A = this chain, B = another copy of it.
Amino acid sequence: MSGPSPGLLQAARAVAVRDAQLVWRRRGDALQPAMFAVLVIVLFALALGGEARLLAKVASAVLWLAVLLAGLLSLESLFRADAEDGTLEQWMLAPVPLGWLVLIRTAMHWATTTLPLLVATPLLAELLHLPHAELPILLASLALGTPLLSLIGAVVAALTVGMKRSGILVSLLALPLYVPVLVFGAGSVAAAAQGLDSSGALYLLGAGLVAGLLLAPLAAAAALRIALN
């Protein structure tokens, strides 16, 4: 009876198509993280009283922080819905490795929540008077760093998915793990601002991303099995 069991690619397609359909059905939700980052940036500019010179100096740090916080807040939505309606159970019983499905899900989550923010970054950088020369470095560091943040976040989200009210605990757990990414990401832009070579930090981020791609899905899958026990 047992028919053709799905290949990795077919399973990936199924998850990706579903996520795309869901995002399309609830378009408004997908933009919320980006809106949040924009608001943090605006609030910060307001709190500083809009002093352009000071803003320019801290712009890259604020942008990184805003992107990171927005990602953090959207972590909650990474696995929770799938856990609550039982989709994760069905994934666990599927003949493809859970880690692979988790990887696809995380990639789609990044693409729908963080990617819009990356696209908006040049505009936000302008708001904060970021020197134009630093923009390419900032974009490169975000492009390498934010997927890594999502991967790390996936592990934490998986661990806390069984809790009823995880709220701030997710942030508390994720932030220490985010620190190295932030240090190298924001550090690369700061180095560029001082005329130093920033490629070292970017290489490190790239290496971290590769390691994250290999390890994080496995760790997240293990954490999901623990949390949903």
Contact = CB atoms under 8 A, between A and B. Distances in A.
A178 B43 contact: yes
Contact of A171 (B39, B57, B171, B176): B39
Nearest to A58: B58
A36 interface: yes
A68 interface: yes
Interface stretch (A45-53, A153-161, A206-214): A45-53
Nearest to A171: B36
A172 B39 contact: yes
Q: What class of interface size applies to chain A in its complex with B?
A: 35 or more
Contacts of A36: 168, 171-172
Interface stretch (A2-10, A73-81, A219-227): A73-81
B65 A44 contact: yes
A77 B35 CA distance: 22
Contacts of A62: 44, 47
Contacts of A77: 165, 167
A76 B178 CA distance: 24
Given A57-B54, A65-B40, A46 B186 contact: yes
A168 B57 contact: no
A179 B58 contact: no
A187 B44 CA distance: 12
Contacts of A48: 58, 61, 186, 190
Contacts of A171: 36, 39, 73
Contact of A73 (B57, B65, B167, B179): B167
A148 B49 CA distance: 20
A175 interface: yes
Given A29-B168, A42-B175, A47-B62, 13 more contacts: A29-B165, A32-B167, A36-B168, A44-B62, A46-B179, A46-B183, A47-B60, A47-B64, A47-B182, A49-B187, A49-B190, A73-B171, A77-B165
Interface of A: 29, 32-33, 35-36, 39-40, 42-44, 46-49, 54, 57-58, 60-62, 64-65, 68-69, 73-74, 76-77, 81, 165, 167-169, 171-172, 175-176, 178-179, 182-183, 186-187, 190
